[in-house]
């Protein structure tokens, strides 16, 4: 069997959540002090996915910097 791969969509401006998304990307909003995108990413890893592409918006550097602290605990 081939390895499972996934695409995680982490884009969107949060236009319906303007007060929360004024200073950070929607996917980085914390839920229990963990960025929102972390939960589906952890589910993918726990399901046996070996590779994940995170598709994000134009603020990619911000997302990349935020991700660096979380990959170790996957």
Task: With a cut of 70, say whether residue 70 has pLDDT above it.
Answer: no
67 confidence band (pLDDT: 50, 70, 90): low
Residue 34 resides in a domain = yes
Using DSSP bridges, classify how beta strands 34-35 and 49-56 pair: parallel, antiparallel or unpaired.
unpaired
Residue 74 resides in a domain = no
Residue 40 resides in a domain = yes
Q: How many domains are contained in the chain?
A: 1
Q: Which domain covers residue 16, as residue numbers? A: 4-66
Residue 71 resides in a domain = no
Task: With a cut of 80, say whether residue 15 has pLDDT above it.
Answer: no
Sign, CA torsion 34/9/65/60 = negative
Residue scoring higher pLDDT (68 or 23):
23
pLDDT, tens only, 28-60? 888 999 988 899 999 988 998 888 888 877 655
């Amino acid at each position: 069997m081939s390895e499972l791969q996934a695409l995680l969509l982490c884009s969107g401006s949060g236009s319906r959540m303007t007060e929360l998304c004024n200073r950070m990307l929607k996917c980085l909003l914390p839920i229990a002090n963990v960025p929102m995108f972390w939960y589906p990413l952890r589910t993918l890893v726990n399901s046996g996915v070996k590779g994940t592409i995170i598709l994000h918006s134009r603020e990619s550097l911000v997302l990349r910097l935020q991700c660096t602290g979380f990959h170790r605990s996957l």
